[in-house]
């Protein structure tokens, strides 16, 4: 099981999808420095709709992006299919 902390979720999701912080920022209509602060755990998105937007972009659950669900989504679905 892959365990990640909240501050690493955005970076990990970007890395696994091949998306840069700048590309994610453009899709969210915020600055790359804002997304970088989120990704580094310096501050969370203040607008709660941003959590949903990030989850939708990466096709994962909001609780995973927020660090409330500790199971990697790919691992979760592999386990459910077995």
Domains in the chain (CATH in brackets) are: 6-81 (1.10.260.40)
Nearest to 3 by CA among 63, 80, 65, 72: 72
pLDDT at 82 over 90: no
What whole-number distance in Å separates Cα of residue 34 and Cα of residue 40?
10
Residue 1, Cβ neighbours under 10 Å: how many?
Answer: 8
**C-alpha–C-alpha distance, residues 42 and 75, integer Å:** 27
Token pair 């409330």: residue: 68
Say what percent of the chain tops pLDDT 90: 49
Instruction: Kindly report, residue by residue over 37-69, the tens digit of the pLDDT.
Output: 999 888 888 888 999 999 999 999 988 888 777
Question: Which has more pLDDT, 68 or 31?
Answer: 31
The arithmetic mean of pLDDT across residues 11-40, rounded, is 95
Residue 10: its pLDDT value, please?
92
Residue 67 structure tokens: 């660090």
């Amino acid at each position: 099981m892959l365990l990640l902390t909240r501050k690493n979720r955005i970076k990990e999701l970007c890395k696994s999808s091949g998306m840069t912080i700048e590309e994610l920022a453009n899709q969210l209509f915020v600055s790359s420095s804002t997304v970088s602060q989120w990704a580094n755990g310096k501050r969370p998105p203040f607008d709660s709709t941003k959590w949903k937007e990030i989850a939708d972009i990466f096709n994962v659950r909001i609780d995973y992006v927020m660090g409330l669900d500790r199971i990697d989504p790919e691992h979760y679905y592999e386990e459910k299919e077995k």
